[in-house]
């Protein structure tokens, strides 16, 4: 699709910004998103092409302004919901439970 | 799309992944021990030191270099680096007349077995958009000025072949051990945004 | 669908990976040296043919071999393997006369992404 991910040749993004001594993961949630996506793929829930396309369907402004691993999280949530493996309702319920228990 | 997206913002990623992981574990789709193991592998064990060993070996052993350029995956496998996101490798040799640099304009494809996981700048819009369009300006931002008579080749990893640059061996390194040579090979020299420092 | 990958299989799974290579019976349509033009396709579905390449003329460098087709796999339409070619596009062909004269982009194109360039 002609999505925002298809960036080759676009202008206006400014300089390449590099972080000194950048860690592999910037936060624990990134570690777990990385693990979750690879393990669900290994378990055959979806293939890498499905994941990439799921990410491509992210709203453009969100794609450009969110941290990288949030793309993976968005992609996985949508695929798992579409396939009925983990629905949005289940996820919302679990989030609500965790919030009530103060485990945010 | 999130059905609540028109009324409230989504929860923070940390909360979302905690919720999602707990559900996946409960459903028997993800093993918590596997979560820890795969994180450990990519945070602590798999990284650009692997690629540096490949490059140093190629510099020290011309026959290995030939094999590496003929069949990247097979030659890299001789050193034990194989697998996920590096199943089909092509090595790009920098020469006095050709400078290679790698990108994935469409997402973030990168040779994990030899370089580990990519840095944020490789995955973000400025690099992906500009390196195919104006490579010399981008490389200059990395401190690398490519002479006008050297050809810059930008390799877009849009399919499943994964690319790694074999930088030129710097002057002043004759007789160096492979261990010492490998120290000169940084991650960015294998992406192609930098070159190893001359030792002469 | 498989069960969860267990902890003690993780290292092996990483080392093994999952190559996208595939056998195909059909002979390749193109060979090194062929002048090709990237098709102007604009599917709303998944494709790995970037917009900056579509409609541009390049030269086939090599046949990378057969690979499963991302465009169909993304939508549950099967592997549909094709020959994939490494194709070189001169910077000026992509970006116009002001582009650096000696530079080029190399990209891997599935056979259905390209057509023979017309004689000019």
Please check whether residue C20 is in contact with residue A62, taking contact to mean a CB–CB distance below 8 angstroms: no
Residue among C3, C43, C76 whose CB faces A1 most closely: C43
Q: What is the pLDDT of residue C1?
A: 63
- The domain defined by A28-100 folds into Cyclin A; domain 1 (1.10.472)
Residues of B in contact with A68 (CB under 8 A): 108, 120, 123-124
What pLDDT band is residue B4 in, cutting at 50, 70 and 90? very low
Domains and CATH numbers, chain B: 13-44 (no CATH), 48-191 (3.90.330.10)
Percentage with pLDDT > 70 across chain C:
98
Alpha-carbon span C107 to C87, nearest angstrom? 6
- Neighbouring CB atoms inside 10 A of C118's CB total 8
Q: Is the dihedral of CA B130, B133, B136, B137 positive or negative?
A: negative
- C87: its two tokens: 């194709």
Q: Model ipTM?
A: 0.97
Q: What share of chain A is helix, strand, coil (3-state, %, to 5)?
A: 55, 0, 45
Q: What is the pLDDT of residue A84?
A: 97
| Span B44-66, pLDDT tens digits | 999 999 999 999 999 999 999 99
Residues 6+ positions from B39 with CB-CB distance below 8 Å: A25, A31, A32, A34, A35
Please check whether residue B196 is in contact with residue B67, taking contact to mean a CB–CB distance below 8 angstroms: no
CA distances from B78 to A14, A20, B45 (A): 41, 33, 18
Q: What is the pLDDT of residue C3?
A: 84
Per-residue pLDDT at B155 exceeds 70:
yes
Q: What is the pLDDT of residue C2?
A: 75
| Span A14-31, pLDDT tens digits | 999 999 999 999 999 999
Q: What is the pLDDT of residue C8?
A: 97
What pLDDT band is residue B21 in, cutting at 50, 70 and 90? very high
Tell me which of B4, B17, B30 to substitute to probe the interface with A (most A C-beta atoms closer than 10 Å): B17
Residues 6+ positions from B140 with CB-CB distance below 8 Å: none
Alpha-carbon span B10 to B15, nearest angstrom? 10
Classify residue C35: in a domain, yes or no. Answer: yes
| Span B170-183, pLDDT tens digits | 999 999 999 999 99
Minimum CA–CA partner of C103 in chain B: B152
Q: What is the pLDDT of residue B2?
A: 46
- Work out how many domains chain C is built from and give that number: 1
- A83: its two tokens: 């396939």
Residue among B29, B31, B106 whose CB faces C7 most closely: B31
Residue among C9, C19, C107 whose CB faces B156 most closely: C107
Q: What is the pLDDT of residue C119?
A: 60
> Would you tell me which residues 21-80 of chain B have a C-beta closer than 8 angstroms to some C-beta of chain A?
21-24, 27, 29-31, 34-36, 38-39, 42-43, 47
Beta carbons of A52 and C74 less than 8 Å apart: yes
Quick one: A61 exposed, middle or buried, by C-beta within 10 A (0-12, 13-18, 19+)?
A: exposed
- Neighbouring CB atoms inside 10 A of C111's CB total 20
- CATH number at C76 reads 2.30.30.50
| Span A30-72, pLDDT tens digits | 999 999 999 999 999 999 999 999 999 999 999 999 999 999 9
Residues of B in contact with A31 (CB under 8 A): 39, 43
For residue C25, give its domain range: 21-116
Q: What is the pLDDT of residue B11?
A: 85
> Helix B13-26 and helix A88-100: axis angle, to 10°?
110
> Would you tell me which residues 127-146 of chain B have a C-beta closer than 8 angstroms to some C-beta of chain A?
127-130, 132-133, 138, 141-142
Classify residue C31: in a domain, yes or no. Answer: yes
- When pLDDT is averaged across residues B25-34 and rounded to a whole number, the result is 98
Average pLDDT, chain A: 96
Please list the active-site residues of B: 104, 107-109
Q: Is the dihedral of CA B184, B186, B190, B193 positive or negative?
A: negative
Residues of C in contact with B157 (CB under 8 A): 108
Beta carbons of C15 and B28 less than 8 Å apart: no
- Neighbouring CB atoms inside 10 A of B4's CB total 12
Average pLDDT, chain C: 96
| Span C68-91, pLDDT tens digits | 999 999 999 999 999 999 999 999
DSSP 8-state class, residue B42: I
Per-residue pLDDT at B9 exceeds 80:
no
Residues of C in contact with B86 (CB under 8 A): 17
Domain borders along chain A are 28-100
Classify residue C4: in a domain, yes or no. Answer: no
- When pLDDT is averaged across residues B57-85 and rounded to a whole number, the result is 98
Q: What is the pLDDT of residue C72?
A: 98
- Exposure of B148 in the CB half-sphere (CA atoms within 13 A): 3
Per-residue pLDDT at B1 exceeds 50:
no
Average pLDDT, chain B: 95
Beta carbons of A8 and B12 less than 8 Å apart: no
What pLDDT band is residue B122 in, cutting at 50, 70 and 90? very high
Choose between C72 and B9: higher pLDDT: C72
Q: What is the pLDDT of residue B198?
A: 87
Residue among B31, B84, B153 whose CB faces C106 most closely: B153
């Amino acid at each position: 699709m002609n999505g925002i991910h298809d960036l080759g040749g676009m202008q206006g993004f400014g300089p390449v910004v590099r972080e000194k001594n950048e860690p592999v993961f910037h936060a624990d949630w990134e570690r777990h998103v990385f693990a979750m996506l690879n393990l669900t793929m290994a378990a055959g829930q979806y293939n890498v092409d499905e994941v990439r396309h799921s990410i491509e369907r992210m709203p453009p402004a969100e794609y450009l302004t969110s941290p990288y691993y949030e793309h993976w999280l968005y992609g996985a949530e949508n695929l798992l919901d579409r396939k009925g493996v983990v629905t949005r309702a289940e996820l919302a319920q679990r989030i609500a439970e965790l919030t009530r228990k103060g485990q945010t | 799309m999130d059905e609540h997206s028109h009324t409230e913002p989504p929860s923070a990623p940390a909360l979302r992944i905690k919720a999602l992981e707990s559900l996946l574990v409960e459903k028997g789709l993800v093993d918590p021990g596997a979560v820890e193991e795969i994180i450990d592998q990519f945070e602590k064990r798999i990284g650009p030191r692997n690629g540096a060993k490949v490059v140093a070996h190629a510099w020290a052993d011309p026959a290995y270099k030939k094999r590496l350029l003929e069949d990247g995956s097979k030659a890299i496998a001789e050193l034990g680096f194989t697998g996920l996101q590096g199943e089909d490798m092509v090595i790009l040799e920098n020469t006095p007349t050709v400078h290679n640099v790698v990108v994935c304009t469409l997402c973030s494809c990168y040779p994990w077995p030899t370089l580990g996981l990519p840095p944020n700048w490789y995955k973000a819009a400025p690099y992906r958009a500009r390196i195919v369009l104006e490579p010399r300006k981008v490389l200059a931002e990395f401190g690398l000025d490519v002479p006008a008579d050297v050809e810059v080749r930008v390799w877009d990893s849009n399919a499943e072949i994964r690319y790694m640059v074999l930088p030129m061996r710097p002057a002043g390194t004759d007789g160096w051990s492979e261990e010492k040579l490998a120290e000169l090979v940084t991650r960015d020299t294998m992406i192609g945004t930098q070159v190893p420092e001359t030792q002469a | 669908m498989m069960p969860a990958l267990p902890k003690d299989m993780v290292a092996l799974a990483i080392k093994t990976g999952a190559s996208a290579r595939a056998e195909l019976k059909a002979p390749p349509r193109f060979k090194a040296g062929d002048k090709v033009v990237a098709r102007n396709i604009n599917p709303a579905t998944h494709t790995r043919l970037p917009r900056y390449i579509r409609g541009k003329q390049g030269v086939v460098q090599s046949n990378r071999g057969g690979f499963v087709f991302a465009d169909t796999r993304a939508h549950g339409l099967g592997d549909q393997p094709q020959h994939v070619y490494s194709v070189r596009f001169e910077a000026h062909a992509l970006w116009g006369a002001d582009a650096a004269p000696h530079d080029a982009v190399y990209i891997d194109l599935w056979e259905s992404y390209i057509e023979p360039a017309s004689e000019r």
